[in-house]
Structure 1
Amino acid sequence: MTNPAGTGGRLSLAERASYGFGDFGYSLAYNMAGAFLLYYYTNVVDLPAAAIGTIFLVARLLDAVIDPLVGIAVDKTRTRWGRMRPYFLFTAVPYVGVFIATFSVPDWSQGAQLVYAFLTFKALGIIMSLGSIPYTALMPMMTANPADRLKLGGWRSIGTSVGVILGTAATMPLVEALGGGDEAKGFLGTALLFSALSLFALTMLFRNCHERIEDDAAPAAFRVLPAVRQMLGNRAWLVCFAFCLLYFIRFGAMLGLTIFYAKDVLQKPWLIPVMLPMVSGGLLIAAFIAPPILTRTGLRKGCIGAIVVALALFGAMAALDHQADWQIGSLSVPPLLLPYFAFSVVTSITITGIFSMAAASVDYQQWLHGVRYEGLLSSGISTSTKVGMAIGSALAAFVLSFAGYVPDAVTDAARADIRSAYFLVAGGLLALQALVVWFWPMDGDWRERPRPSA
């Protein structure tokens, strides 16, 4: 294994920042779709919520087959640009093109529109896989230094947070400004603008980030099924997969339901561009505080501690959402915003943990079996991200369907159902995350322990 960066070589600021650009490039479109595609389909195109929920779920469950195939292809790739970087170069334009098409549903019959929605949403996911799986696999190939990996995870969190800020807070104001009252036109214009930003970010990723650690023990031709069995026997990878899956189920459900929670339960539509950006603000703050915290505590204890604090804050938010607004000068501020923002910061610590777990699980794979298979292992984490978001988005859609949600005639019973789902689903998933990460095997002097039996 060649290792110019080694555990002692350090990455430059340009490399770290460009790695963060990569997540921005991929997540900007993904977060706009995650936050507003349900709204776009139901309120702009006027498609039924239950059908959209089914589209989200089926399309992303197919990723459980597609993503491992992409991961295997990545591990078999050998080019003059390296193994990962060609995917950034050749998928950037198709990715933003399909993203634009996703927010351009034609004025066809409802059945044809549903087929179009499924095909464009599925295509967006496939091309996302072709870029995001090599992107995740790139981190353990850039450096083996744990401190640099946490910094890369921090920069990736910054890229994620900026993508969420633009994809959530800026979307509706841009839709209004670019559409002039025509939401369909506004969503298309916003998608075009975001596509240009994504292309720039992915160009910087390709230009500045390079593979320094190569796995000489994994030839381009290898047997797939034994490699998959080895991956499934990798406890670090299994914990990372499950932890990431649960995180994004919760994130997807909350992202979809927050719009309706603010607009219909709290009956304060102006909170939508306030609450959604708080998620990204939490990610941005956590990008700076998570690396030193997790370095000191270790991934397992740090993530569990963050979840315990988050559950307490979420409970406080539920207790305060019926309280009268605080008057601060001429402003009326709902008291739940304070615990909600703190909750967003604390839970975001775990996403930096996930990025580091994904890279560390490659080291664990090499320790167990002598090979790394960065692409294959990263494909599983990509699958957990997208399937988690799909299940979460589908849950949000099914909650609306179960509640009998009608945009222009929301009942008190529907509001109660949305509120209950908003708190109970997220709280339960957080508790499950804490249970899963308890089994993380790589804190402390893990290399000194006996290897598990095959």
Structure 2
Amino acid sequence: MAEKKLTFVERLSYGFGDLGTSLAYNMASAFLLFYYTDVVKLPAAAVGTVFLVARLLDAVIDMVVGVAVDKTRTRFGRTRPYFLFTAVPYAVVTVLLFNVPAWGQTAQLIYAFLTFKALGILMSLQAIPYTALMPMMTEDTGDRLKLSGMRSVGTSVSVVLGTAATMPLVGLFGGGDQQRGFLSVAALFAVIGLICTFALFRNCRERYEDEGSPKFAIWPAVKDMLRNRAWLVCFGFCLTYFMRFGVMMSSTPYFAIEVLHRPWMIAVMLPAVSGMLLLSSFVAPPLYARFGIRRGCIGVLTLATALFAILPFTENSVPAFLAVYLAACLSTSVTIVAAFTMIAETVDYHDWRFGVRHEGLLSSGVSLATKVGMAVGTAGFAYALGQAGYSAGAVTDAARDTIRWSYYGSAVVLLSLQVLVVIFWPMDRMHDRIREDIAQRLAPAG
């Protein structure tokens, strides 16, 4: 029997579930370092340590959440209870994150660490079940590409709101008081995220489940995950992508102000980092359907690397800079559509190899890659600022050079590494064979 296709409401609700999870996180990724250093006046190197330590602790938390999803059995399903019960706490912590009290510096750093860590924990409790939900909704690769495209739309909207809209809204709500402005914007985004997460819970259903027992040994399951070639490639692909994303999101405000001397370009450049996902959600599915994920990604990543290498030579011309920059961002955005699909297909590969699906555990590993990548990218840039002696209001030429070459150099190096990683993707042209083998295994004897 043919698989029942997903409805438009399901696809839309799934896509905008990413908006519910990512909006606060994108605002934090783009402006939290700036908020801490330029509004709260915390030292850049200390803030870098806050980011790095908080995210490295996710190595344990994400795995715990992933295993919990695989062991969950409720009347709501395996993933949906997490959306229902974390939506309100996530909104509250979003507001607290941008409301650092006027305490001493040590107390403020502790507060920053605790609220940032709480945001990470709650995001794990939403993002891992969210990612695990896709292979439970459909086994059809075409539908998965459509879900990935719709998720890209949700991601794009979250980036545009969390980046381009943030500073104008800070000015509008704050009336010159950036502390009040950031707090007001955080509250607004918290409400939007809350609505989207509740819509995800209400409209998306799990149609396919892991038939394995929820009572499984954790360490052997982790060892099997580390033997899953598709998962290892997906992990490396997401890790390098989000390391670059972390550097670019955190460095762009400094880059536009101190290197380009055009603060207005923050509102153009930040959304374009992944805001081009809105366009790529239409470009990517036919591209990967024709060329496959491996060849398609190699092509667009090679193009993006060349464009970022050219970009420093266009600084003196705003039209030329933006043309090259937008083309580079479109190329990189196309690859995140592939990443969303790759995550789902690691589940099929795992089922084929090991006889169990373990969507939660596999999704937690990829979630860890995104968080560690963001942490390393953001903290690395913060440490570079600290090493260069960055001080708000008294920026030296050495600090400007550090900002410039961190921005360009990280993109070229990490995009090149992404190409090397995706070469080893094993799933192209294997889908029919895998499904036939699984069906034969599940067929009753005789």
Match of 1:368 in 2: 353
Separation in 2, partners of 1:239, 1:140: 18
Match of 2:77 in 1: 82
Q: 1:282 offset after TM fit, Å?
A: 1.1
Q: Residue 89 and residue 63 in structure 1: after superposition, are their counterparts in 2 closer, same or farther (change >3 A)?
A: same
Match of 1:329 in 2: none
1:204 equivalent to 2:189? Answer no
- Say which SS state the counterpart of residue 108 (structure 1) adopts: coil
1:109 equivalent to 2:109? Answer no
Q: Contact 1:53–1:394 (CA<8 Å) still a contact in 2?
A: yes
Match of 1:294 in 2: 288
Root mean square deviation, CA, Å:
1.4
Separation in 2, partners of 1:287, 1:55: 34
Aligned residue type for 2:218 = V
1:123 equivalent to 2:118? Answer yes
Match of 2:333 in 1: 348
Match of 1:264 in 2: 258
Separation in 1, partners of 2:278, 2:370: 19
Q: Contact 1:247–1:429 (CA<8 Å) still a contact in 2?
A: yes
Separation in 1, partners of 2:416, 2:323: 22
Q: 1:401 offset after TM fit, Å?
A: 1.0
1:23-422 matched pairs, under 5 angstroms: 23-216=18-211, 218-321=212-315, 323=316, 325=317, 333-422=318-407
Q: 1:447 offset after TM fit, Å?
A: 6.0
Q: Residue 418 and residue 346 in structure 1: after superposition, are their counterparts in 2 closer, same or farther (change >3 A)?
A: same
Aligned residue type for 2:406 = A
Q: 1:41 offset after TM fit, Å?
A: 0.4
Aligned residue type for 1:391 = V
Q: 1:8 offset after TM fit, Å?
A: 3.0
Choose between structure 1 and 2: higher helix proportion: 2
- Say which SS state the counterpart of residue 276 (structure 2) adopts: helix
Q: 1:359 offset after TM fit, Å?
A: 0.1
Separation in 2, partners of 1:281, 1:65: 31
Question: Once superposed, which parts of structure 1, at least 4 consecutive aligned residues long, lie more than 6 Å away?
Answer: none
For each residue in 1:140-191, what CA deviation from the matched residue of structure 2 results, as whole angstroms up to 9, or x when unmatched? Answer: 0000000000000000010000000000000001101101100000000000
Q: Contact 1:7–1:143 (CA<8 Å) still a contact in 2?
A: no
For each residue in 1:107-144, what CA deviation from the matched residue of structure 2 results, as whole angstroms up to 9, or x when unmatched? Answer: 10000000000000001000100111000000000000
- Say which SS state the counterpart of residue 336 (structure 1) adopts: helix
Q: 1:410 offset after TM fit, Å?
A: 1.2
Aligned residue type for 1:268 = R
Q: 1:280 offset after TM fit, Å?
A: 3.9
Q: 1:445 offset after TM fit, Å?
A: 3.2
For each residue in 1:52-109, what CA deviation from the matched residue of structure 2 results, as whole angstroms up to 9, or x when unmatched? Answer: 0001001001111110010001100010000000000000000111111010100100
Q: 1:402 offset after TM fit, Å?
A: 1.8
Separation in 1, partners of 2:39, 2:252: 18
Match of 2:418 in 1: 433
- Say which SS state the counterpart of residue 83 (structure 2) adopts: helix
Separation in 1, partners of 2:201, 2:429: 35
Separation in 1, partners of 2:221, 2:265: 48
Q: Which consecutive residues of structure 1, in runs of 5 or more, have no partner in the other structure? A: 1-5, 326-332
Q: 1:334 offset after TM fit, Å?
A: 4.3
- Say which SS state the counterpart of residue 443 (structure 1) adopts: coil
- Say which SS state the counterpart of residue 41 (structure 2) adopts: coil
Aligned residue type for 1:240 = C
- Say which SS state the counterpart of residue 155 (structure 2) adopts: helix
Q: Contact 2:159–2:274 (CA<8 Å) still a contact in 1?
A: yes
Aligned residue type for 2:232 = L
For each residue in 1:377-427, what CA deviation from the matched residue of structure 2 results, as whole angstroms up to 9, or x when unmatched? Answer: 000011111111111111121121122111111122211121111111111
Separation in 1, partners of 2:112, 2:398: 30
Aligned residue type for 1:141 = M
Separation in 2, partners of 1:96, 1:180: 24
TM-score, normalization by structure 1: 0.94
Aligned residue type for 2:205 = H
Q: Residue 287 and residue 135 in structure 1: after superposition, are their counterparts in 2 closer, same or farther (change >3 A)?
A: same
TM-score, normalization by structure 2: 0.96
Q: Which consecutive residues of structure 2, in runs of 5 or more, have no partner in the other structure? A: 438-446
Q: Residue 427 and residue 261 in structure 1: after superposition, are their counterparts in 2 closer, same or farther (change >3 A)?
A: same
- Say which SS state the counterpart of residue 338 (structure 1) adopts: helix
Q: 1:335 offset after TM fit, Å?
A: 2.0
Q: Residue 73 and residue 350 in structure 1: after superposition, are their counterparts in 2 closer, same or farther (change >3 A)?
A: same
Q: Contact 1:9–1:145 (CA<8 Å) still a contact in 2?
A: no
Q: Contact 1:257–1:418 (CA<8 Å) still a contact in 2?
A: yes
Q: Contact 1:7–1:144 (CA<8 Å) still a contact in 2?
A: no
